[in-house]
Structure 1
Amino acid sequence: MKKLLIAVLMMLGTSTVFAGDSEALKAILKAKTYDEAQSLVKSSVNSLANAAEKAKAYNYLVDLAMKKVNHEQEIIAANQLQQQLNTGKYEAYDTLGFYKALEQAFTNAMECDKWDNMPNEKGKIKPKFHQANQNKLVNMRTELINAGQLQPADNKKAAFDFFSLYVDSYSHPLFKEVDRTANPDKYLGEVARVAAVFAFQNKDMDNANKYVDIALNDTASYKEALNLKIYLSSQDLKTKEDSVKFANTLKTLNEKDPKNDMVFSQLAAVLQALGDKDGASKLIESRLALNPNDYSALALKAQNAMNAATQDPALYDVAIENFKKAIAIKPNDNALIYTYLAFSINAKAAACQNANEQKVLCQESVTYLEKARELDPNRERANWTYPLYQCYYTLYGADDARTKEIEALTK
């Protein structure tokens, strides 16, 4: 009896340890083509016995895809040899099929790796396919860039798929052993930015933001990625809540890069548009605390003071002071700053009761307006004509040739 029990237990143990593949997996492994096998995996993946079977099924898809990849690579290599030998004998190869199979290999290898690294029935992780798949694919990632670039202009979805797969594979656990310090990915940021562009063109804003955020982490692509991030965040601002969300995005960017002129200017403009004058003022002052000679912050502080001076004329002095500081930093940058400065001086002169003081202020204003005229003679950015006419009229009278010349330009 004891021997019989031992025999039964041994049989049970053997059947547990050496259980064969499920019928669903057997059917998958019998498939001869990738399409057939993929169809079976999709329809029966939930019928597979465990994570190990799922890993085996997806690895079989990798093998079938790589069979196509290797076949086309052999033709390409043979053609390169024939070219070197100048034989003129070339065999046509399936470029689109090659890249499609490569995409399939990466996609399924990454899915295989997920299941391959799950604990077995004993709670241990013993991947069977991880290293082999890594070795097969690690040096082929750049081919995904080539694939994206070769997609027809009207197939933006396919281009996005290849570029995004390149980016996603960089951080995927399948390639976790790759030494990124010794082998940095010099293409990652730019490819992520391009993926974001295609996602936006496909009206996929979630992925557009996902990949542009990755591009922002790469110094090589940062500048263009930042422009894109701001552009994406500014789309479809239909409600106040949308604008607040945009402002919050800009605040985050400003916190990460507090010296960036574009982010600062955009954020200040959005805060002002939202009526958050206090927020805009604090932003400007925080910027000036970092650098008291910050041109953009001085110009914005002056402009805000000029706008508010209609309610509090004393603020014209604040505007004049800060406009002067700004032009001292960049004397040949912007005709509009000179025009605003002169406008503020003219406003101060208009409120002055002393005729001689008015003329002194107007004379000072003229120097700035003539500089604006020099910088922008066609008035493309700044309309300096009317304030200059006011000054000439006050200083020289209506009949002076200088006054008449400018008067003609105001009409």
Structure 2
Amino acid sequence: MTTDLRARTAVELLRARRRSIALTDAVDDGDLVRQHSPLMSPLVWDLAHIGNQEELWLVRDVGGRDPVRVDIDRFYDAFKHPRADRPSLPLLGPREARSYVGTVRDKVLDILDTVPLEGRRLVEQGFAFGMIVQHEQQHCETMLATHQLRAGEAVLTAPSPPSAQAGVYGEVLVPGGPFTMGTSTERWALDNERPAHTVDVPAFFIETAPVTNARFAEFIDDGGYLDRRWWSEPGWRHRVEAGLEGPMHWHGDGTRTHFGHRAPVEPDAPVVHVGYHEADAFARWSRKRLPTEAEWEKAARFDPVSGRSRRYPWGDADPGEAHANLGQRHLRPAPVGAYPDGASPLGVHQLIGDVWEWTATDFAGYPGFVAFPYREYSEVFFGPTYKVLRGGSFGTDASACRGTFRNWDLPIRRQIFSGIRLARDPRPGEVG
């Protein structure tokens, strides 16, 4: 068991590193050190930060080894330096950063071969290594978002996603009653996913697919961005101040720019790069609403036949290529209906992958939440400032995406790969 766990963990560490290298080797040194948007760090900062977190947790803590570069810790502490300020720091250059992360990784693989994976909560079931795998993959998605913001020729390539395999329309009723939300058993689940607890969710309807570009274009064409009726007070204020007229990277002529390519907006693909305020306004215009986080998770995990909560909509098996658009295999959302094998028992499609879906819920800990292994991962973000997103995107790796996985961001953020799914309450007499 331990040997198999070590081998699988090593595979995940190496897979994450291949992706980091691919994303940073795709551009020249000038692009690596440049800040492509004040919303994002220079790519070279992300790369060295990945190595620094790995050194702090796995080399120094788990391995008990001497520091590799204790002198750079303060420059790669995400809480000490806002992204806009990071280019002014004395950062490692591209060659130094690559050498540093390589040295750290060599030590980590040696530690993985020898350290006991028991006796401390931090190492039980390889948790610390899994935490670092997920951290690196999360930064890979962040670097992918930076690539989307960079100007210049396209440097990333990937095959097109599959075409629609099934017609997916309308909405389904999710029956009312209790279900198990969160997890206490998932080996590498992070602190904000824990513990498992029972939530009683009243009956609701949820749409079987994410909102498509074609539907969102109807909102724009109907003057949705100009009509104060559909916007919350902070949403309208932000729309006016930011001059929002459509999703990020749309040009207003039926085209959008995606990783350096300008092409027609695909009508049957999920809309992407919309903030919470836009999602909320679209929902109001549609006479519906965004789902709560508990509703989203019940739709994604609840099996009405067995009454249990699955790991994923399709069951307990890890995601395969037929289940979901994950891991940067494709560089855009797949059309609605492309993954019928990934549907939930109730017939809800593409809950995992393609686009992160905004929920109506503020980010907070579950009942019995305990910060582990550090408060700065989740707890410092709890409160009404951040909204929860669920489900992952085409840029999210499977190691950092589960039916219980929780993401969060500011309502104004649009550079992330975020989209919309709608829900509504039953009408009088509609549910027996």
Q: What range describes the TM-score normalised by the shorter chain of this pair?
A: under 0.3
The TM-score normalised by the length of structure 1 is 0.25
Greater helix content: 1
- Answer 1 or 2: higher relative contact order, Cα 8 Å, separation at least 6: 2
Quick check: which has more Rg, 1 or 2?
Answer: 1
